Amino acid sequence: MAAFDNAQVADAYSQLTAVIAGFSFSCLVGLLAYRFGASSKGALLDRRMQSALLLFFSCFIGMTTSSLAYSVLSGMKDFALALNVGHVVAGTGFGVAGLMGLLGIHQLVLCSGLRIEREIGIVAGSLVPVLITGYQVLGLYLVDGYGAAVFGLCVVLVTLAVASIAPHLKASGDSLKSSSIWSHSTLSLVGLAFSSAPSLAVCILAALAQNATVPIWPAYVAIVPTFIMSSWVMLTFQRVVENPPEAVIEPAVELAEKISLEGPRVNSAETGK
């Protein structure tokens, strides 16, 4: 019976992450083109498009570095333990970058006015984070057996608990409007860090595999950022799903009219004094 080839799977993941990185880059270019076009024409620019821009940038960098990590893993066929540990570590970068991309798509759906944001929120904001965590738990089982599987199962159960209570933790519209762009900015920056760092860890594992025994603790550590980002994304989906899009840039024509109307009003007030 032929053995399961983890190195070949890593090569396939490298190609998959590169394709998704290309998709994210296309979204970035499209959003930037719309941004410049909208500004020149004085059209409304939705706040959620700014959030989507940040999230797709995080997804692009994360997927690019994940493609590098899986490329390194595809050449580690003779180092079984390092390859298995590397798969779990690289799964963090792949999963977190994917969550950033899904949240960016959700922001664009909210901008479009399509009434499917709840369905996308259920799939991408609950099911996908649980699946990503479960995927890493399976890899953890290959690394350290049943003990690791029990640890990973506890993480999955906690993630399911967060998914079950997330719909009851919605923020009010007023508090969200004033902090939405900043909350997504923080989320995208943390996601950028968590999705890029695993590629460096995989390269270190590859170097250690040549001359030393590879430790298994990085596989356990890799589960933690995945759980943090999965929980954060699930809560974020629930917070934004029922808030309408908000514009942050006024049309140039309306802005000029406001200036022309407010100017004489101030002057007349000063003349009365």
- Give the tens place of pLDDT for each residue, 233-266: 877 776 554 444 444 444 444 444 444 455 544 4
CB atoms within 10 A of CB 215: 13
Contact criterion met (CB below 8 Å) for 7 and 83: yes
- pLDDT tens-place string over residues 15-59: 999 999 999 999 999 888 877 776 555 555 667 788 888 999 999
Contact criterion met (CB below 8 Å) for 129 and 234: yes
* Upper half-sphere CA count for residue 57 (Cβ side, 13 Å): 16
Question: What is the model's pLDDT at position 31?
Answer: 86
Mean pLDDT within 10-17 = 93
Q: Which residues pair with 247 in a beta bridge?
A: 46
Structurally, the chain folds into a number of domains equal to 1
Q: Would you say residue 208 lies in a domain? A: yes
The residue to which tokens 């902090």 are assigned: 179
Question: What is the model's pLDDT at position 258?
Answer: 47
- pLDDT tens-place string over residues 25-36: 999 998 888 777
Q: Would you say residue 248 lies in a domain? A: no
Is residue 272 over pLDDT 60?
no
SS3 percent helix, strand, coil of the chain, rounded to 5, is 85, 0, 15
CA distance 48 to 107: 6
Q: Which residues pair with 46 in a beta bridge?
A: 247
What residue numbers bound the domain in which 123 lies? 6-242
Which are the contacts of 160, defined by CB distance < 8 A and separation ≥ 6? 130
Which are the contacts of 203, defined by CB distance < 8 A and separation ≥ 6? 69, 72
pTM given for the model: 0.77
Instruction: Output the CA–CA distances (angstroms, integers) from residue 255 to 189, 252, 259, 269, in the order listed.
Output: 33, 5, 6, 21
Q: Would you say residue 236 lies in a domain? A: yes
Q: Would you say residue 192 lies in a domain? A: yes
Q: Would you say residue 54 lies in a domain? A: yes
Q: Would you say residue 224 lies in a domain? A: yes
CA distance 143 to 218: 11
Q: Would you say residue 249 lies in a domain? A: no
Question: What is the model's pLDDT at position 44?
Answer: 55
Q: Would you say residue 117 lies in a domain? A: yes
